[in-house]
Amino acid sequence: MSELAASPSDRARIVEAAGGIIAEGSKSFRFASQLFSEDVREKSWLLYAWCRACDDITDGQTLGHDAERPMDPHARIQFVRDRTRAALAGEESGLVPFDALAIVAAETGLPHALTDDHLAGFERDAVEWRPESEEDLLSYCYQVAGAVGVMMAHVMGVGAEDRDTLNRAADLGIAFQLANIARDIVEDAHVGRTYVPRQWLAELGISPGEIADPRHRSALAEVGKRLADLADRYRESARVGAGRLPFRSRWAVHSAARIYGAIAEKARALGERAWDRRIRIGKAEKLRLVVAALWDSLRPAPATERSELWTRPIPVRRESASTGPGSIPSGPASG
């Protein structure tokens, strides 16, 4: 593979493999991606393959039979960083996710700083970082999901100069991650992970080590509602950016927003029962949400301001003594 582009046969092979990865890793994202034009759909699969690999490798899993499994979190992060830098330099690795990144970056002019932002979230997980405040939580959500939203906006043709649309793409990723956190609070706690801000827990009299205790389900329902309400605000902002996209991309984005939004809505509606079993969105419900998203795509986007929302900083600061490795301190801004 050259620095500029893969051969047509190599590209087709990697796209097919990436489609398999997304089919296994995220049925909801693959479902929504069918609405994209063929070109955007293929690029979205290529990007997803890299994102999935970053998550799997840094979480201690393997990347098929081609990758060696590093023995410690820092080695895993370094492995991913090295492979990512090589991919962005156009070097072929023989590993589908990194070769997929090389293709999509070359074809879209993807800003390399966004991959750094994304990997910073995995660095936080590697050192067992936990959010102290809501701002910490939002910066983490940007890293692990909002940055992907910005990369997807570039895949859909949004230019680097259109900062407001890119910020709203980040908002959608943040909303998705808040929904995931609300769904997985107890499941995460069982494996020693806590993404609920310590300040929130302190207000409710819950220590981080007690989150999974059934005695705290009533208080935890308040946390789930707070996360879902916060996700709503970022999802509403994202509708403005989606309204600026070509129709098929707009419909796909609204569909994904509806599907992930349903996760947050279920977590809020179920209250104390939200963690009795994992929240899932069935195929029939997804179809209904896609139809609703079609209406979203046909009507004018709301005139929603985002001046009170957390905004990704540019340029990114890589270290902060107050918020930890890979942190992205920022605050409300109009973008």
pLDDT of the residue at 61: 58
DSSP conformational letter for 275: G
Most confident of 63-67, 201-205, 327-331: 201-205
pLDDT, one tens digit per residue, over 40-67 is 999 999 999 999 999 888 876 554 334 4
Give dist(CA 14, CA 99) in Å, integer: 8
Which helix (H) or strand (E) element contains residue 211?
Answer: none
CATH, domain range 130-303: 1.10.600.10
Name the more confident of 71 and 293.
Answer: 293
Give dist(CA 270, CA 273) in Å, integer: 5
pLDDT, one tens digit per residue, over 105-156 is 999 999 999 999 999 999 998 888 999 999 999 999 999 999 999 999 999 9
Amino acid present at 299 = R
Question: pTM, whole model, 2 decimals?
Answer: 0.88
pLDDT of the residue at 6: 62
Ranges in the chain annotated CATH 1.10.600.10? 130-303
Q: Region 166-171: what's the mean pLDDT?
A: 98
* Residue 138, CA distances (Å) to 226, 242, 274 in order: 13, 21, 22
pLDDT, one tens digit per residue, over 248-273 is 999 999 999 999 999 999 999 999 99
In this structure, what is the dihedral angle of CA atoms 235, 282, 59, 88, given to the nearest 10 degrees? -60
- Beta bridge partners of residue 332, listed in sequence order: 310
Helix orientation angle between 96-108 and 73-88, rounded to the nearest 10 degrees: 40
Residue 275 has pLDDT above 90, yes or no: yes
Q: Region 218-229: what's the mean pLDDT?
A: 97
Alpha helices in 67-146 (DSSP H): 73-88, 96-108, 112-126, 134-141
% of the chain beyond a pLDDT of 90: 72
The whole-chain average pLDDT of the chain stands at: 88
